[in-house]
Structure 1
Amino acid sequence: MFQIIGIVLLFGMVFGSYLMGGGKLDVIIEAAPHELMAILGAAVAAFLISNSMVVIKGTAGGFGKIFKGPKWKPADYRDLLSLLFLLTKTMKSKGVIALESHIEKPHESTIFARYPKVTHDHFAVDFICDTLRMMTMNLEDPHQVEDAMEKQLEKHHHEALEPAHALQAMADALPALGIVAAVLGVIKTMGSITEPPA
């Protein structure tokens, strides 16, 4: 909701100040298609050239998240803690062998089935299962498990932030593309310099 209010306020402030300063909207409306084609069109083309299809799809999907809000709600975190509790309780009370069937085939597990939202997140399920699998291997050094978890999380965060970085790179290039459009406008004006002002 606040995103929509922000967009309306942005346009209201920019064009409102322009009109209050004596500007004419018909000039903006006439120039807008050409300017948008030169600046926004070039930015989108550069974005498509410089990114993989995975990043492009991730960026498109990210726009939906702006209006939907966060994926995980407080109840989901409680479910995650409950899932981890049941898994560790199973490992402590029934032994490692009883846990193996749950972490090797989590989509067939009765424990994972209780928490469908967590189960539908492939990274969360893989992360939990891989970590528990390392714990069942009786690693003597607990820091090995911690290091492996940190590396896996770092890799996931790097991949998850690629669309945001790609969009930021495109945003950084927009001022330069705006200058290109301005120069093209100057060239067009200079081509008509011998004509009367009208």
Structure 2
Amino acid sequence: MFPIIGFVIIFSSAIGGFMLAGGNPLVLLQPVEFIVIMGTGIGSLFIGVPSHALIHLIKDIPQVFKGSKYKRKDYLDMLVFLAIFLKVVKTKGFLAVEKDIEKPIESELFLKFPKFIFDPELLSFTQQYLRTIAMGVDNPYHLDEVLGTEIEQYSTKYLKESAKVLQTLADGLPALGIVAAVLGVILAMASIAEPPEVLGHLIGAALVGTFLGVFVSYGIVGPMGGHLIAINEQDMNMHKCIHQVLLNFLHGYAPAIAVELGRKTLPINYKPTFEDLEEAVYNNGKKSSDPGSETKE
């Protein structure tokens, strides 16, 4: 919603201000200049950016308007999941939940929290973390170092990479606007014998190229890249919280305390209250059957 409002403000301010000064907005409609600038800019990305980054960019652009894929309820569900899961591990050991880790799509506990199932990246991260601990790597300091690096890799994998591509494009657009303007001036000079009104129109069209390059760069593409970085940082809070809860557990804290300490690391706008978490854990604990029970057959 806010990016859309931002675009409305940007266009209304730029075009509205031009009209208030007595300008005709139709003068700014120069499709040839736009084609030169954006075509050259996009072409430069095909040359300078790996193909997989361009594919991810196309997929990630809608995230600018959707925002973070994790909402407050998702963080609450994640904490409840870890509280119930770790309680079973504490009482029965990792062997009791081995099948849940390896086949989450068949796990009653995982299925109660569909965000894990329908988010392959988050599911893979959680599985790898739990599997690593189950294999006996229970040194919290070593695990913090290894999986902390993995979190950083997740952070740079998609959205941040797309943001970098957009920033590269934004950096080049003002210069490409000058290129379009120079081409327009060349065209105007070739028509130097034309009447002043014709020559003036050609020069005006050339200057629109400079305007478009700077406007699209600093008003549209650059802010979109910055927004993707902000979304990436928000989404990483989910991975960091899982990381912190499991580290707390390995340090010897009881599941409830490990989860509570993890909850405290969340940003205030995503952090569920202690009461909400306690109630959700209690309600889900009553409804759940033992997630490791099916492994005892």
- Give yes or no for TM over 0.5: yes
* 1:140 Cα deviation from its structure 2 partner: 5.4
Show structure 2 runs of 5+ residues with no match.
198-297
Describe the SS at the equivalent of 2:15: helix
* Runs of 4 or more consecutive aligned structure 1 residues displaced over 3 Å after TM superposition: none
How far apart, in 2, do the equivalents of 1:28 and 1:74 lie? 43
* 1:5 Cα deviation from its structure 2 partner: 2.4
Alignment of 1:25-64 (within 5 A): 25-29=25-29, 32-64=30-62
Cα deviation 1:87-139 (Å, max 9, x = unaligned): 21121112221121111222222211110112211222222222222222333
Alignment root-mean-square deviation, CA: 1.7
Alignment of 1:29-108 (within 5 A): 29=29, 32-108=30-106
What is the match of residue 129 of structure 2?
Answer: 131
Contact 1:59 1:163 in 2 (8 A): yes
What is the match of residue 24 of structure 1?
Answer: 24
* 1:80 Cα deviation from its structure 2 partner: 0.7
What is the match of residue 171 of structure 1?
Answer: 170
Amino acid at match of 1:19: M
What is the match of residue 150 of structure 2?
Answer: 152
Contact 1:76 1:118 in 2 (8 A): no
* 1:49 Cα deviation from its structure 2 partner: 3.1
Describe the SS at the equivalent of 2:22: coil
> TM-score, structure 1 length as denominator?
0.90
* Percent of residue pairs bearing the same amino acid type: 38
Cα deviation 1:48-92 (Å, max 9, x = unaligned): 333334322322222222222321111111111111122211211
How far apart, in 2, do the equivalents of 1:19 and 1:94 lie? 73
> TM-score, structure 2 length as denominator?
0.62
Describe the SS at the equivalent of 2:61: helix
How far apart, in 2, do the equivalents of 1:190 and 1:18 lie? 26
How far apart, in 2, do the equivalents of 1:60 and 1:33 lie? 23
Question: CA 1:24/1:96 → structure 2, altered by over 3 Å: closer, same or farther?
Answer: closer
Contact 1:118 1:125 in 2 (8 A): yes
How far apart, in 2, do the equivalents of 1:140 and 1:83 lie? 20
Question: CA 1:2/1:96 → structure 2, altered by over 3 Å: closer, same or farther?
Answer: closer
Which range is displaced more, 9-18 or 71-80?
9-18
How far apart, in 1, do the equivalents of 2:124 and 2:25 lie? 55
Higher relative contact order (CA 8 A, sep 6+): 2
Show structure 1 runs of 5+ residues with no match.
none
What is the match of residue 192 of structure 2?
Answer: 193
Amino acid at match of 2:145: D
